[in-house]
Structure 1
Amino acid sequence: MNVTTSGLADLAGRLTGSLTTDPDVLETFSGDESEYRAEGSPLALVRAATVDDVVETVKFAHRRGVPVVPQGARSGLSGGACAVDGCILLSVRSMDRILEVDEVNRTVTVEPGIINLDLKKALRAYGLAYPPDPGSVAMCSVGGNIATNAGGMCCVKYGVTREYVRELKVVLADGTVTRLGHRTVKGVAGLDLAALFTGSEGTLGVIVEATLRLVPAGPAPLSALATFPDVRSATEAVAAYMDTGAEPSLLELMDSITVGFVNEIGDFGLDASVGAVLIMQSDSVTAAADTEAFASVARDNGALDVAFADNAEDSELLVAARRSAQPGNEHYARNHGGGQLIDDVCVPRSRLADFCSGVERIRDETGTVVALVAHAGDGNVHPSVFYDRRDPASGVAATEAFDRIMALGLELGGTITGEHGVGALKSRWLAEELDEGNRRLHREIKNAVDPTGILNPGKMLDCL
């Protein structure tokens, strides 16, 4: 690696955006929302304003063997956007324009830095909607969503980000600009490389433009809330309800610990004395009947109470309570030593009850505080393990709980990540999940696309 001050100055002079080596700025941009903290320091931060800025930066790095860490809003929870020593941090957050809304073909073309919620709001005027809806919808970028194949609360009906990616413009490791995928509804010419790059976490290329599939905006959704004496009865109600063939647009679970945390930061009227809460939402034309059907199944499976939100405002309040789970967790963590490890295990829906019971057992055996929230309709659970950063023993116990939770998910036929990505925090666990043939394919693809290994090293593919 041969990078001089004059070399960085030359790169800066070719950019429409900016380049900085200010240590304070670099420290700020070296992390994301995860607990992972980079070892070592980056060389520089490039704030790209155009595709050409990305190309110039990647070419500069490629010629010198300098690592490049692509970044969007840095809202990730797995360390995927964290710095590695001697890298260039390449932020595309300022590339946030909507380039085209095609109403006839129901697509939108965007730059990667646009915030998910801003895109949703802009599409309302066209009567169209972009369904992927991460919990961090108000702060996460669409490019980051594509890089991690993000999910969210509406996946139970609408699926994950990959199902909405039609075409990607990508800058490869040598600076080549290429288009992957098709803008058409159907397209099977060649391998599905757009799907391959979706979820690749910046290890194969830098996404600089995306054309996304849209759906017609539906009616205002209606919601229902059911409380249960414990988590197991709530998960059994989930299995029974989904077994009816129901298609809720949202089916979320919060345990009593999470409800308590949420009540600390907002007045949502949730009963913290119960063992678990399920929030169901329907955005179909049969929403009123859907909520009644959910209520019936919930009561048959031991619900203590069922309440209905029969208008859009009350329905949104219930969803806002669920979206407040992570802010509630953060509030608790700040007041109890600051540490939080967020798991992202997805299991077959039929094993959801076993998984949640296992997490409660791990919590008791490790003596840790573990709060449970779940996209229950998907079997995707986010146990948050809390610890005191000032107490080494607390950190050890939290790490043990975190690892045992991932191992439990694999034992039950699940995966280590349903939507947050692998990043740095889970790279060794990816090797545990994949068999040798699968690991070899990953390695060979990475070597073919990025032979010098400059794109986001030390992350998802590092331990394969």
Structure 2
Amino acid sequence: MSKSNATTFSELKTALASTISNDRLIDDPLRTLAYGTDASFYRLIPGLVVRPENEEELQTVLAECRERKIPVTFRAAGTSLSGQAVTDSVLIQLRQGWRDHEILDDGQAIRLQPGVIGARANQLLAPFGRKIGPDPASINSCMIGGIAANNASGMCCGTAQNSYRTVRDLRVILADGTLLDTADPVSREAFLRSHAGLIAGLERLSAETRANKALAEKIRHKYRLKNTTGYALNSLVDFEDGIEILKHLMIGSEGTLGFLSTITYDSVSDEPCKAAALAFFPDMATTCRATIALKPSPVSAVELMDRAALRSVQDKPGMPETLRTLPDGAAALLIDVRGNDEAELVARMEEVQASLEGVRTLEPVAFTRETATYELYWKIRKGLFPAVGAIRETGTTVIIEDVAFPIERLDEGVQALTETFHRHGYAETILFGHALEGNLHFVFPQGFEKPGEVERYQGLMDEVAQLVGVEYGGSLKAEHGTGRNMAPYVELEWGSDAYALMWEIKALFDPENLLNPEVILSRNPTLHLENLKPLPAADDIIDKCIECGFCEPICPSTDLTLTPRQRIVIRRELARLEALGDQATDADNERMQQLEESYVYQGIDTCAATGLCATQCPVGIDTGEMVRQLRRERSVDKASLARRIGRHFSGATRVARGGLNAAGAARTVLGANLMEKMSVGARRLSGERLPQWSPALPKSAPIRVLGHLPGGGDNREKVVYLPSCATRIFGAAHDDDESRSVMEITLTLLDKAGYEVILPEMIGHLCCGMAFKSKGQYDEASHKARELNRELLMASQNGRYPVLCDTSPCTLQMQEHLDERLSLMEPVSFAHDHLLPRLTVTPLDERIAVHVTCSSTRMGLSEKFVTLARSCARDVVVPAEISCCGFAGDKGFNTPELNASALEGLAEQVVDCSAGYSNSRTCEIGLSQHGGIPYRSILSLLDRASQPAST
């Protein structure tokens, strides 16, 4: 960044500081790099990142930028693939403040702010049997703002249910700061007066376009296909009213015409009965003929995957064995059929089967209605892009583009496209896509470092653009948005008349070209070859990452510091700077020092390191593991302390219980409010070194209860019970009606269910090792795991008896590191599988909340968790968008802001609940603190709702 630019951004920041708090005006080297990264292969670093929280703040930002002629770019989730969400100017990032929603007309419509994640919108509509029309593969992470701004479509929506077709109304803020609410007659009338020139200009362009028969017919042809290249010119032939034209032009405009602060969608039916089939064909030509045969049939989606795409996923768990034996040149269709009831589903499946008669398949087409298999098929399809990226050569990026052919020419188009790739040396390219729309994604690895690679890429893109856009009359961008990668080719596809029309539209909305310039329209013919993102080797754990951002919604630090993707971005930049060695300039060295210093807190200290991110990553990258390794490198000098604690663990837990007793006594004398204020002050004075006391800090656990075990009478079945170190330290909450510790509850419940309990020897000394591993003390973690393994094998008679641990994260740690002979179970799995059949359960007349811990999610226990809770209470709340609680063992004490940020909004969702239930005592402390209700072990709920089974 030049000195003059830096001064300009500094002045802007100062001007905005009177309206927007300083923590939402970001210009430090680490966060501008991290927050400026999207899923594309472009890299631009913003001069300033601004996080406005409402329309008024956003209008202020636009006004201040307009006064200084500073361009702005809007960013939602940053899953954009074509470079439309990167900038070296001002990045306006949507976080808190943009997630409101409202259900309208009994679910027939939904009003959404741009920060709502697409999957969350569908979750809100599910009780009405409805969903939003767009269904992009990234729907679990992308946000409504990006979905609408890119006119993203997806697998099932085609062209009939995309944002353009299903938008009802918008609230839009234009470049001059004016707000238009198309649903509000007063706003519309005021806008018609204040912006008469804009409306007249749009209506003039509409009339001229409709009068130009050749251009109008070309537009209609282009939008019979999926098409997001350039602006939505179909709005000029579909509508004559200026407001309607404006509304539909905003869809797919990629933030270049205005800011969408709210969008109202007409929802579509979400048919509940679903089935899917993987149909295999001997070659691509046959596959394309099958697609054409399926077009008139009642299918919801038909997804094409070529042999290379199938090869990239054939070794994933659960995939059909057939994938490994398919011949070269084979291809597959994932065929999805849905219905409102079983009879309709069966009839539609039969019709689909009939439509494929006479088409050669490699094996009979078989539909599955089994939920796990159905979801696996779709998970594989949605994860193809990142999965392919994961097998690329380290140091290369991955390119994805999506084109659309007229479906009647799909076969020859695919062949011509494949020949083009091979001619330019891209033999590793894979093809997949939405076959019914003739929409194909092509993905290939690309390095830009070696001589000639940029030129090779340019040659490929030039030929692809000519082939698809001109020779076949197709779309160069079918659904991913024009962005930077295709902006130089818009005129080639559309022709000079349509291209001039687009520039007129841009001039009407944004005459100073300040809204996301160089996106969609550009005079720069080599724009797509500039500012290419480096992806240097950094760490074996993360080198597969393509920075797609699928991991971000479930990360507890998303709204506090960095996400997994952003942690990887910074780690890669540090690796790049390290690799410069003697060639590094003073500026490089200074930048590296700044990044390293900031990364300690932003990247390492505020990572919960639970591994939850791996559950959302299509290639299973556990960024938490990378962070633990970095902690290990930073904590070498603490190894001896860790060893002493590990070797005297029983004493360490006694000290911890003594501390809790002392804190409880002080609480009695001083009161909770004064204790909290004193703790905050002491922590501040210590430079954040002292832990934060919490009003939810419980009493110490009465370890003596372990001396009262259920006996062995009546030939009871045996179970080994391992109280975790957390439950041996933390007892019941001070103000909770449930006054028993988790150990007391567990023993009571096991007795009620007729079990004889066995405790391992040296119970006070045992630990699974997670407390050490999370801090990077791997050696002591391994030592404690070996100790525990030995004792559990002895107690269980080498796995003869099941082992119950009362804390879910510890169980997962043990499952990953202990002897496979051990049958290790945590509270939910043991209660669901073993206790429920032995008890008579009467659901409590209560509304309760449950928190599914990270470890439960990773162990695949989410469904069992909710099922167990619903068997014990009449009304169960699973708070939306609350994933990892961020307590992470002791982070709730040592980095309490992580816990607070992760649980933002929890209290509002559980306000009517009598209590909450989970399966990790430390998580329950943080949940109680920020939920405003007591959180207890799920075993407490089962104990309260059950009686011994009648004989």
TM-score, structure 1 normalization: 0.91
Q: How many residues align?
A: 454
Deviations 1:341-367 (A, max 9, x none): 211111111111111111221122122
Structure 2 distance, partners of 1:399, 1:385, is: 14
Which of 27, 30, 33 is the aligned partner of 2:36? 30
The equivalent residue for 2:622 is: none
The equivalent residue for 2:598 is: none
C-alpha distance 395-260 of structure 1, shift in aligned 2 (>3 A) = farther
The equivalent residue for 2:19 is: 14
The equivalent residue for 1:70 is: 74
* 1:44 aligned onto 2:48: yes
Aligned residue identity for 2:403: V
Deviation at 1:266, TM superposition (A): 4.6
C-alpha distance 226-106 of structure 1, shift in aligned 2 (>3 A) = same
Deviation at 1:251, TM superposition (A): 0.6
Structure 1 distance, partners of 2:436, 2:389, is: 25
* 1:106 aligned onto 2:108: yes
Which of 489, 502, 519 is the aligned partner of 1:429? 489
The equivalent residue for 1:215 is: 268
Deviation at 1:114, TM superposition (A): 0.9
Give the structure with the higher percent helix: 2
Which of 345, 353, 360 is the aligned partner of 1:302? 360
Q: Which moved more, 1:56-65 or 1:215-224?
A: 215-224
Deviation at 1:419, TM superposition (A): 0.5
Structure 2 distance, partners of 1:237, 1:431, is: 34
Does the 8 Å contact 1:157/1:249 carry over to 2? no
The equivalent residue for 1:233 is: 286
The equivalent residue for 2:419 is: 361
Deviations 1:41-64 (A, max 9, x none): 422001121112211111111111
Deviation at 1:435, TM superposition (A): 2.1
| Larger Rg, first or second structure (1 or 2) | 2
Which of 345, 348, 360 is the aligned partner of 1:290? 348
- The alignment-based identity, stated in percent, is 28
Aligned residue identity for 2:418: E
The equivalent residue for 1:373 is: 432
Structure 1 distance, partners of 2:467, 2:286, is: 20
Q: Which moved more, 1:88-97 or 1:203-212?
A: 88-97
Structure 2 distance, partners of 1:317, 1:182, is: 44
Aligned residue identity for 2:416: G
Structure 1 distance, partners of 2:272, 2:78, is: 33
Deviation at 1:390, TM superposition (A): 4.2
* 1:278 aligned onto 2:337: no
Does the 8 Å contact 1:156/1:247 carry over to 2? no
Deviation at 1:181, TM superposition (A): 6.4
SS in structure 2 of the partner of residue 345 of structure 1: strand
Does the 8 Å contact 2:465/2:493 carry over to 1? no
C-alpha distance 321-438 of structure 1, shift in aligned 2 (>3 A) = same
Segments of structure 1 that go 5 or more residues without pairing to the other structure are none
Q: How does 1:16-415 map to 2 (within 5 A)?
A: 18-38=24-44, 41-84=45-88, 87-104=89-106, 106-156=108-158, 158-180=160-182, 189-192=241-244, 193-242=246-295, 245-269=296-320, 271-272=323-324, 273-274=326-327, 275-285=330-340, 286-305=344-363, 306-333=365-392, 335=393, 337-368=395-426, 369-410=428-469, 411-415=471-475
Deviations 1:376-402 (A, max 9, x none): 011111011222344334454344334
Does the 8 Å contact 2:182/2:243 carry over to 1? no
Provide runs of 4+ in structure 1 moved above 6 Å: none
SS in structure 2 of the partner of residue 227 of structure 1: strand
Structure 1 distance, partners of 2:382, 2:509, is: 37
C-alpha distance 6-262 of structure 1, shift in aligned 2 (>3 A) = same
SS in structure 1 of the partner of residue 429 of structure 2: strand
Deviations 1:403-459 (A, max 9, x none): 322322111110111110111111011111122221222111111211111000111
Deviation at 1:315, TM superposition (A): 2.2
Aligned residue identity for 2:14: A
SS in structure 2 of the partner of residue 403 of structure 1: helix
C-alpha distance 135-414 of structure 1, shift in aligned 2 (>3 A) = same
C-alpha distance 452-357 of structure 1, shift in aligned 2 (>3 A) = same
Structure 2 distance, partners of 1:400, 1:435, is: 21
Deviation at 1:127, TM superposition (A): 2.9
Does the 8 Å contact 1:19/1:46 carry over to 2? yes
Aligned residue identity for 1:196: L
Q: Which moved more, 1:66-75 or 1:103-112?
A: 103-112
C-alpha distance 232-64 of structure 1, shift in aligned 2 (>3 A) = same
Structure 2 distance, partners of 1:111, 1:393, is: 45
Structure 2 distance, partners of 1:359, 1:95, is: 44
Aligned residue identity for 2:94: V
Q: Which has the higher contact order (CA 8 A, sep 6+)?
A: 1
Does the 8 Å contact 1:253/1:279 carry over to 2? yes
Structure 1 distance, partners of 2:455, 2:259, is: 36
Deviation at 1:279, TM superposition (A): 0.7
Aligned residue identity for 2:261: V
Give the structure with the higher percent strand: 1
Report the aligned-residue RMSD: 2.3
Deviations 1:5-49 (A, max 9, x none): 3441230330268111111111122231111223xx422001121
Structure 2 distance, partners of 1:303, 1:398, is: 36
C-alpha distance 453-388 of structure 1, shift in aligned 2 (>3 A) = closer
Which of 433, 441, 459 is the aligned partner of 2:519? 459
Does the 8 Å contact 1:157/1:247 carry over to 2? no
Does the 8 Å contact 2:54/2:98 carry over to 1? no
C-alpha distance 72-366 of structure 1, shift in aligned 2 (>3 A) = same
Structure 2 distance, partners of 1:74, 1:393, is: 30
Deviations 1:204-223 (A, max 9, x none): 00111111111233222111
The equivalent residue for 1:419 is: 479
SS in structure 2 of the partner of residue 155 of structure 1: coil
Structure 1 distance, partners of 2:432, 2:183, is: 35
Does the 8 Å contact 1:156/1:251 carry over to 2? no
Structure 2 distance, partners of 1:293, 1:182, is: 45
Deviations 1:116-167 (A, max 9, x none): 1111112213332112100111111111011011110012385322112111
